[in-house]
Amino acid sequence: MLNKVKNKFPFLLLMLVHPLLGFIYKLLNENPRKAANITTAFDQHIPFVPVFILPYMIWYGYIFGYLIYFCFKDTKVYIKSLITITIGECICFIVFFFFQTTVIRPEITEGTPLYDLVSFIYKSDMPYNCFPSIHVLTTYAIMLASLHIKNKHIIHSILIQGMGSLIILSTMFVKQHVVWDMVGSMILVCYIYGITFEIFKIRVSEKAKTIEIKND
């Protein structure tokens, strides 16, 4: 087991790209420009359901937890997942810079634990950088990538798809995103996923700790 962890450790270090991506997101989020509101009539009929803040916040553990799971289960899927997420987020950042959008949030007046969690998220994440949704993009990337993981336990099969779906829905039920944010992210992931998983082949050498990417 220790040898396996040792062999995977260099590949796990690739996740250090996330702090950099997070820094760029924060920079764009705290320096808003004129933002467009792309809320639809359908969004106005979606209720605010504070309990959905729970799957919304579980997203953090969901993404990193399953990336680590992928790394140990199938390193090639793990690397392709990281590539998909990284390219996707970089495209999102470009969109955020040139086409900033915002979302109208409800006023939080109650002091229950769930409302407190919503208030915490609202204070730590300004209502910008909405389209496309990075929450949806990363979650959907994990959901699609998991289809390439063989011999998954039934619990993981259910959790990845079930919890992923709840996380995606939560972005709208806690009024962090609107429908177009979700749709835009899912379309973007499908394109990047198709290129990364279907066109490029990745060969991983566990002993040499090397990665080779080929055009199929």
Q: pLDDT tens for residues 13-40?
A: 999 999 999 999 999 988 777 899 999 9
Q: Which helix (H) or strand (E) holds 187?
A: helix 179-193
Read off the pTM.
Answer: 0.92
Work out the number of other CB atoms within 10 angstroms of the CB of residue 4: 10
Query: Who's near 186: CB < 8 A, 6+ residues apart?
Result: 136, 137, 140
CA distance 80 to 196: 6
Q: In terms of C-beta density within 10 A (0-12 exposed, 13-18 middle, 19 or more buried), how is residue 177 classed?
A: buried
Residue 33: what pLDDT? Answer: 76
Q: Pick out the chain residues at pLDDT < 50.
A: none
Distances (CA, A) of 39 to 23, 27, 28, 94, 175: 27, 24, 21, 21, 11
CA distance 177 to 130: 6
What does the pLDDT look like over 120-154, one tens digit per residue? 999 999 999 999 999 999 999 999 999 999 999 99
Q: What SS3 state is found at 209? A: coil
* Residue range(s) defining the domain that contains residue 101: 2-215
Amino acid at 10: P
Number of structural domains (the chain) is 1
